[in-house]
Amino acid sequence: MRTVYVAEYPAIQHRHRNGDIVTVRLKRRAGGYSASCSGCDTEFVYRKPGASRIQHHKSPLLPPVKGNFDTGDDEH
Ligand SMILES: [Zn+2]
């Protein structure tokens, strides 16, 4: 079985050799999410997109201070 790393969640669409488009759903396992497809003998392992990229994108003008975003603390 081969392993493919994906950034999609929660379902992985892929194509089989015969042209079928097959969807498999990721399941939580120890260490992360993964899904296996017996049709093409492939294991799909979910890998988060780069964590730092997300925070910088949200607030390009502020330093990346942890706890600055998404806490809801500012909405009094
Ligand atoms: Zn497959």
Ligand 1 centroid from CA 60, angstroms: 40
Q: What's the CA-to-centroid distance between 51 and ligand 1, angstroms?
A: 28
Domain-by-domain residue ranges, the chain? 2-58
pLDDT digits (tens, 9 = 90+) for 49-70: 766 555 555 555 666 666 655 5
Q: 26 C-alpha to center of ligand 1: Å? A: 13
CB atoms closer than 10 angstroms to residue 35: 20
Q: 1-50, pLDDT tens digit by residue?
A: 999 999 999 999 999 999 999 999 999 998 899 999 999 999 999 988 76
CA distance to 1, 6, 21, 24, 30, per residue, from 13 (Å): 17, 10, 7, 7, 23
Q: Measured in angstroms, how far is the CA atom of residue 29 from the centroid of ligand 1?
A: 19
Tokens at 53, concatenated:
């990229």
Interatomic CA distance for residues 54 and 3, integer angstroms: 26
Q: Residue 49 C-alpha to ligand 1 middle, in angstroms?
A: 23
